[in-house]
Amino acid sequence: MTTTAPPTPLGDFDAATALQPQQAGFSAQIDADWLQGRTAFGGLGAAVALRAAQRVVADAGSQPPLRSVDVDFLAPIAAGAVEVQAHILRAGRAITWAEATVAQDGRVATRLRAVFATARPSAVRVPPPTATPATAAEAAVAMPYIEGVVPRFVRNYEMRWGSGPMPFRGGSASHIDGWVRSRGPATGAPALLGLLDAWPAPVLGLLTAPAPASTVRWSVQLLDPEAVAALDGQQLFHYRSDAVAAADGAVTFTARLADASGRVLAISEQLAVVFDQR
């Protein structure tokens, strides 16, 4: 499937992840401006799947708050049309599980599972953590876009680097601390996935030469579902990621996204592979 559509305005994440209802499921158009090498960047593919999962849950008559998302990245997604399927795995009184897939040319490329849980009274209450940026947004360095070096989709975001080595600088630290916002409309939990996944793996700063890296599996926990549902991606968000361990080409790292007040909205864990020696 190689059909194309007019490009979306720069930074318009909502338009780039929009769904079109089909006789069975949905379709979406992946714009070349959202590519990372030969594939759409993971946050975009995951957001398309999440929109479908949210749609089928809403169509079932309710929309409990989204609490958790797990994503498997199985294959690249090229620019062009994709087919999106979603269904409810189970709907209980308090918790609903939904699954969605994004496929291209008959092959599933991204699989997402989402957990929705209704708010209920509980004596258990632990406030979400707060984030303390290493560098204030005003002092952080704007990440430049360099054609052929920086992934194409990065143009859709304003990214400010606070601390940690930039990719391929041969640094000694394996973390990233910075600020990010969308350059166009980006709302709700799908936009959150884009903001979280816009950054490179924190271990790439250890390398001295460019090398590809790819996320295999991703888990995101929403700590403040109401704030995420009302999210406007055009405000500045603080991002922090840290490598947990890396060996044999496999990297596990955690990340968190907070608003400007320091309230952490979501945390994530990713398994990525780095192809620096082939």
**Per-residue pLDDT tens for 194-230?**
999 999 999 999 999 989 899 999 999 999 999 999 9
CATH class of 13-118+128-274: mainly beta
pLDDT reading at 177 higher than 50: yes
Which residues have C-beta within 8 Å of that of residue 258, sequence separation ≥ 6?
130, 131, 237, 238, 240, 264, 265
pTM: 0.94
Residue 61 has pLDDT above 90, yes or no: no
pLDDT of residue 2: 43
What per-residue confidence (pLDDT) applies to 1? 42
| 256-273 average pLDDT score | 96
Which one, of 151, 161, 181, 191, lies nearest residue 33 by Cα?
151
Closest alpha carbon to 42 in 15, 63, 71: 71
Residue 90: which residues within 8 A CB-CB, separation 6 or more? 96, 97
Any idea how long the chain is?
Answer: 278
Q: What is the pLDDT of residue 9?
A: 74
DSSP code, position 263: B
pLDDT tens digits for 2-41? 445 556 678 899 999 999 999 989 999 999 999 998 999 9
Q: What percent of the chain shows pLDDT beyond 90?
A: 85
CB 258 within 8 A of CB 192: no
pLDDT number for residue 101: 98
Distance CA 29, CA 79 (A): 7
Query: Is the pLDDT score of 119 beyond 60?
Result: yes
**Residue 130: exposure state from Cβ atoms within 10 A (0-12, 13-18, ≥19):** exposed
**Model pLDDT, residue 7:** 62
Q: Which two tokens stand for residue 70?
A: 């797990």
Tens digits of per-residue pLDDT, 223-255?
A: 999 999 999 988 999 999 999 999 999 999 999
Name the nearest CA neighbour of 192 among 143, 227, 156: 227
DSSP-assigned letters across all residues of 138-174: TTSEEPPP-TTTS-GGGGGEEEEEEESPPTTS--S--
Contact 33, 153 (CB under 8 A): yes
Mean pLDDT value of segment 152-177: 94
